[in-house]
Every structure is written in C-alpha cells, then in structure tokens.
A and B are shown apart, each in its own frame.
Chain A
Amino acid sequence: MTAAFVYEFRMQARKRSMWIANGVIVALLGLLTANLLTDALDEPSAKVAMTSGAFLVNLILPVVYGCFLADRLVRDDKLGVAPILDATPASTAGRLSGKYLGSCAAAAVPLAIIYFGFAVLYAATAGHPVALAWAAALFAVVILPAVLFVGAFALVVPLLIPAPLFRVLFVGYWFWGNSIHPTLMPTLSQSLISPIGPYPLQELFGYGGPGGDVVLAGPVDDATLNFLRPAATAATAWLSIGVLLAVAALVLSAAPALRARTTR
C-alpha cells in the first residue's frame, strides 16, 4: 500500500494541468467573490472566517479534483502498466488503497495550499493566529471527507463508463446534489450524504451561510428525500462524516470486481 501511495501521490502531484486548473479556478473565484473575500478578511471571528473559507473551497474545488482523479484507476489498463503490477505479489486491495489514498492526498495538496494560504493571510491581517487551528480542524472534518468521498467515485465510476462522460456527469451531479435547494427538485443537497458537509459546517462550526442566517442541514418543509435529512445535531454531523466515508469505502470495495469484469 505504501508503495502505491507514494508513487500515485508523486505522479498526480506532478500533473501540471492539475495545478493550472486549480490556479485558474481560484483566480476566477477570487475575482468573482472579491467582496466576500474582503468581508471574510474583515470578519472579527476567526471561526466564522475559516468556516466561510471551507464552505467556499468545498463548494467549488471538488469539481476540479473530481475531474482530475477520474483517470487514475483506468489509466493503468490504458497505459498497459496493469499487467506488470498485477503480476507482482502485492495484494490488489493494498495497491488499490494506496492508489486511492495517494491520489486523494495529491488532490488535497492544492486545496491545502489555497485554504491554509487564506488562513495565514487572515491570521496575519486580523491578528488572530487561532484561525490556523480552526483551519486545521475544518480541513480535517469538512474538506478531507469530501476529498475521500469524491475520490472514491472518481476512481471507480470510470470503470463502468468512460472517464470523459464521468466528468460531465460529475459536474452536473455536483451542482445538482449540493447547490440546488431541496424545495426546487429532488436533490441530495442539505442531506447526510452531501459532501460539501452541511451538517458538520452547521453543527460543529456554527456556520449559517454568508449572512449567518441560512439553514444548511436538516429536514426541509415540502422537500423530497427528507429521510436523508435528519434533525441537525452534533451527532448527525458526525454521522454525516461517517456516512460519507462508509459510502466511499463501499464504492471502493467494488473496484476489484469491476476491473476483473473488463480484464478477465
């Protein structure tokens, strides 16, 4: 597992296009939300500022890394490396776990740079070094589960459908499943399995949207799929993180069988 982790991380981190795409998105985001950024830097509460930052990062950047991770598993077969790796005594599960964690870790590096860069800027300008501690907590509890959730689907689904099609569907899913208000149409947003993390953002960090008065998680009147939106509490926030990680593990566990379908 360690070998696959190290080398998958190295290969993904060397992908120049990943850095360029993240850079472009962040630059565009910076331009479009300059006022929000200024407001965040002026925010007196370090916790609120860091939570706003985490929400923004989790709302937009998964689209980038989800698309970039989409070829990581299928490319071994496409490149013709798979027979060499499969003929080694290393276990399939270990290699898969290493590949998954390595590519997710590499995808998380630009996020960490962007997010902690923001945290350092805030801490320096507002004089609140505690922002770094909040940023670390939010990164671990909100951003990383999203990376692991998205990473699992991005690795495994292209075993079923072509990677370009996955990317198109994934972008559609992302905005449908995370940004659409549940009263407009059936959607997964504001539910336990929304990877932007509405439950932990609201219940563990007290986030209430840019104005502070938005309900991010919990049942919504007149919405469908409310069974996925239990009352928002600290317990359901942790449950949400657990569900995201469990779904990721479940999806990942299907990979060997799906791969065998095409290679055997």
Chain B
Amino acid sequence: MRIEISGLVKTYKGKGRALDGLDLLVPTGMFGLLGANGAGKTTLMRILAGLLRPTGGEVRIGGYDVTGRAGRQAVQRVLGYLPQDLGVYPDLSAREFLDYVGLLKGIDDRATRRRRVGELLEVVALTGDADRRLRGYSGGMRRRVGIAQALLADPRLLIVDEPTAGLDPEERIRFRTLLSQLAGERTVLLSTHIVDDVAQTCRELAVLAKGRLVFRGTVDDLTRRADRRVWSVVTAGPAPTGGTVVSALPVEGGLRYRVVASVPPAPDAEPLAPTLEDGYLALAQPGAAEDAMRP
C-alpha cells in the first residue's frame, strides 16, 4: 500500500503549523520516520490513521483519499495503529480488551476472534497474564497489549508511533524483529526518535524537522551524510565545540568524545566511520538539511 502525501499542512489553533507543506512517498515495506520531538511525526501519524483532519494538502493511501470519510473508513479497515500515548481500559483484562478492539475492527466471528487474540497474546508473551485486569499491568506490558491490538485484523498498513518506548531491551529487539517480519507485502510505517530502531529494521526512511521533510532516502544515504564528519577526540578538558557530541566515554586520560562536525573539532581528532545516528545528527548541522533535499 503506497502512501502518497502532497502539500500536507496541519495547523493547530494557537500553536502554529505542525506540518508545513509536506510531500512524501512511502512505498510498500518497512519505512522509518525520524525526527526530534515536535517535528510533526505524531501529527502525520494521526492524519494517516484518520484521527486528524489536515488543514490542507492531499493524502492518498492505497489510492484512497483519507481526508474524506469513505476513504478514511476504507483505510481503517486495513489499518493497524499503535499510538504514541497508548491507553487501555483498566477494568478489562488483556484478553477482553483485545476482544473488544477485534469486534470494532470487524472480526465478527467469535471463534476466529478468540483464536487471533490467543495467537497475539502468545506473540507478545502475555498469555500467562491475559486474564488479569490491565489496571495491574506495567507500562511495558501495556505497550505489548497495544502492539497486539495493532496486529489484530492482519493489517495491510501498520502505523506504529514510538512502538518501543517503555519496552526492555529484549522486548524491543523482539518487537523490531516482528515488525520486519510483518513488512513483506505490507506497509509498515515506523515513527520513532530512537535511531537504532530504524537502523535495525528499515531500508528507507524520512526525516522531519519543524513539520517539513528534511531527508528522504535509504539508511545508507543518510549514514553517508556524515562521511568525513565523525571524529573521536580524547581530552581531560572541556567538551569539544563546533559540532554535535554524540557520546562521551570515560577512558584513561579523560573522556573519549564522538563528535559530528564538518571540520575536525581538535588538532588530534581522529576520523571515524559514520553510523545512521551520526548521519541523522549531521542533518541538524547548519546547511545540511537543505543539502540533503537537493537532488
């Protein structure tokens, strides 16, 4: 299911533009969406899920115009959506909650619904707790319930907004793997600010900043944006300036800084091979975003 977005604008009353003329094409398969908090990712996800109406522009998913009622409903029939601020009913058990969402998603046959709920509880490792009220679930467990509900109706389009927030490292890896396995013939749109999640699962991605598209390409393309811009500096003094410090690791004689900068931040700086995170940070440097969108 291709997602075609053109000239998308969303303005909130009194808060300005969350999306500012966004053009983006999302092909079938796994696609990452990166951006800082407030970049407009969640607004975009909510528009795609049919929860928000755009102020202007066009959004077509699988040929359906989601700004209209009929198109929105058609898309929602094949949609699995995991919102960023996920909530559950504390008075229901995980099994009941999933059964409820299954009914709303149109899985009317009771036996099919029960089987599907059981399978997904197994997938998210909640079978043992399935009949406990959600009131007593931890944040991570609730997140897993959220993941299960998104997968209920075997969606052709999966929109997941910060899906790994609150998950422990093992759960995170398991969920990332699951998403990659699901991709295939589906479109999986993964919005996150955890760069590693995109690095491990997506071949293509887009980066938003202040409601605009600042990069669209492959993971390798974005990584290459930091070619000859990543440096290692060891110092006992103040942190290097003139770039973005990615990490600081204590070593003998001070701290080893990993810095993204267009010029060496110190005379003894050593060049390093870039990662996707470096490429993403390189985009934030003056002039980089404009360069990134240049053909």
B236 to chain A, nearest CB (A): 47
A80-B87, A95-B104, A264-B52 known; A87-B76 Cβ under 8 A: yes
- What residue of chain A has the Cβ atom nearest to residue B82's Cβ? A84
Which of B86, B91, B100 is A80 in contact with, Cβ under 8 Å? B86
Task: Please state if A89 and B92 are interface contacts (CB–CB under 8 Å).
Answer: no
Whether A79 sits at the interface, judged by CB under 8 Å, is yes
Question: Which of A10-18, A125-133, A177-185, A250-258 contacts its partner?
Answer: A10-18
A11-B89, A14-B91, A89-B77 known; A83-B105 Cβ under 8 A: no
Whether B239 sits at the interface, judged by CB under 8 Å, is no
The residues in A between 52 and 86 inclusive whose CB is less than 8 angstroms from any CB of B are 79-86
In the complex, A83 Cα to B159 Cα: how many Å?
A: 12
Task: Please state if A87 and B51 are interface contacts (CB–CB under 8 Å).
Answer: yes
Task: Please state if A81 and B87 are interface contacts (CB–CB under 8 Å).
Answer: yes
Interface footprint category on B: 20 to 34
Which of B51, B87, B96 is A79 in contact with, Cβ under 8 Å? B87
A2-B103, A3-B104 known; A88-B96 Cβ under 8 A: no
In the complex, A122 Cα to B12 Cα: how many Å?
A: 61
The residues in A between 87 and 114 inclusive whose CB is less than 8 angstroms from any CB of B are 87-90, 95
Task: Please state if A11 and B51 are interface contacts (CB–CB under 8 Å).
Answer: no
Whether B244 sits at the interface, judged by CB under 8 Å, is no
A211 to chain B, nearest CB (A): 45
Residues of A contacting B149 with CB < 8 Å?
Answer: 84
B55 to chain A, nearest CB (A): 10
Task: Please state if A80 and B92 are interface contacts (CB–CB under 8 Å).
Answer: no
- How many chain A residues touch B (CB < 8 A): the figure is 23
B94 to chain A, nearest CB (A): 13
A252 to chain B, nearest CB (A): 19
A interface SS class = helix
In the complex, A10 Cα to B49 Cα: how many Å?
A: 28
In the complex, A111 Cα to B66 Cα: how many Å?
A: 45
B76 to chain A, nearest CB (A): 4
Task: Please state if A3 and B87 are interface contacts (CB–CB under 8 Å).
Answer: no
In the complex, A79 Cα to B142 Cα: how many Å?
A: 12
Interface residues of A (CB under 8 A from B): 2-4, 7, 10-11, 14-15, 79-90, 95, 263-264
Interface residues of B (CB under 8 A from A): 46, 49-53, 73, 76-77, 79, 81, 83, 85-92, 96, 100-101, 103-106, 146, 149
Known: A7-B89, A87-B76, A89-B106. 13 other contacts (CB 8 A): A3-B104, A10-B92, A11-B89, A79-B88, A81-B87, A82-B87, A84-B86, A84-B146, A86-B50, A87-B51, A87-B81, A88-B105, A264-B52
A-B contact list, 20 entries, CB within 8 Å:
A2-B103, A7-B89, A7-B96, A10-B96, A15-B91, A79-B88, A79-B90, A80-B86, A80-B87, A80-B88, A81-B88, A83-B83, A85-B101, A86-B51, A87-B49, A87-B76, A87-B79, A88-B105, A89-B77, A90-B105
